[in-house]
Homo-oligomer: A and B are copies of this chain.
Amino acid sequence: MSIDLRGVFPPVPTPFGEDGGIAYDRLAENLERWNRTDLSGYVVVGSTGECATLTEREKLQVWEVARKHITSDKRFIAGTGCESTRETIALTRQAASIGSDAALVVTPWYYKGAMKSRELVAHYTAVADVSSIPILLYTFPQCTGVVMEPAAVARLAEHPNIIGMKDSSEVMGTFAEYIRVTPPSFQLVVGSALTFYMALCLGARGGILALANVAPQECVEIYRLFIDGKHEEAKQLQLRLMPVANAIGPRFGIAGVKAAMALRGYYGGPPRAPLLPLEPDGIEALRLELNGAGLA
């Protein structure tokens, strides 16, 4: 069993109300609006979805709402990676029972010094062995401090239930290595709009891009231009969007994604503490970048 990862997927933010609770209706609204675009699907409860500060119960409820509001032409990928193997297994099972199409499993992160290939291979194998939905590896060194060795990825790619990998680092030499050491059926996707076009050139199936929350159709357009062999136009569009990708990524993070969504007419709202909302001068800087990229 597999799912098709071609195209663009936003890792959707979890909307919070002013009381700090989840605003489930706002999530529904945002999804309904995105459903009218050409996005290929969604990642729900990923890093951008503030997975680290949601309780297990909240994650399940977010998935329930997402399942109800994601149309059948869009794929639904659940972020299920936890610090422990057993919790990751349990959560992946719950995501499957709620009806998600695949699970995206970030590497464990707190005990980063111990996350060698031996541990990572054992961890992902244990999860994939028992999961009824396909598993995607996920490496995001900026948050986890863990880099997966290409040899470990090659080994895990042999597992029939591990169908691909998301790489959110910008280190394209390593991404190329992942491409090289895995079979063509293994689906690599890139996790940063800063490297979307070049990853496509290398063989990425698509992208899971925070920018796609803010500018979904523009991200899809990069993908289509690439597929149509229009390299120059794909590159130019990527370059035009880069200041926004930078602003909602390395510079302002999740608070920036949410503020940019609000400026674009989606529900943004505050992040959950300890994350804090963008201050007014940050919002102003963001507005300028959106204008500059033609996303006013």
Q: Is the interface of A mostly helix, strand, loop or mixed?
A: helix
The answer, yes or no, to whether A85 is at the interface (CB within 8 Å) is: yes
Least CB distance, A124 to chain B, in whole angstroms: 9
Chain B residues contacting A250 (CB-CB under 8 Å) are 113
Least CB distance, A149 to chain B, in whole angstroms: 12
The answer, yes or no, to whether A238 is at the interface (CB within 8 Å) is: yes
Copies in the complex: 4
A235:B274 contact, CB within 8 angstroms: no
Chain B residues contacting A172 (CB-CB under 8 Å) are 170-172, 194-195, 198
What sequence of 0s and 1s flags, for each residue 215-229 of chain A, a beta carbon within 8 Å of any chain B beta carbon? 000000000000001
- Stretch with Cβ within 8 A of B (4 or more), from A34-42, A60-68, A92-100, A176-184: A176-184
The answer, yes or no, to whether A114 is at the interface (CB within 8 Å) is: yes
With contact pairs A109-B109, A250-B113, A255-B114 given, residues A195 and B173 touching in the complex (Cβ less than 8 Å) = yes
Chain B residues contacting A159 (CB-CB under 8 Å) are none
What sequence of 0s and 1s flags, for each residue 239-269 of chain A, a beta carbon within 8 Å of any chain B beta carbon? 1001100100010011100000000000000
A-B complex: 10 closest residue pairs judged by Cβ atoms: A173-B194, A53-B84, A85-B273, A52-B110, A123-B274, A170-B173, A198-B198, A172-B172, A52-B83, A201-B201
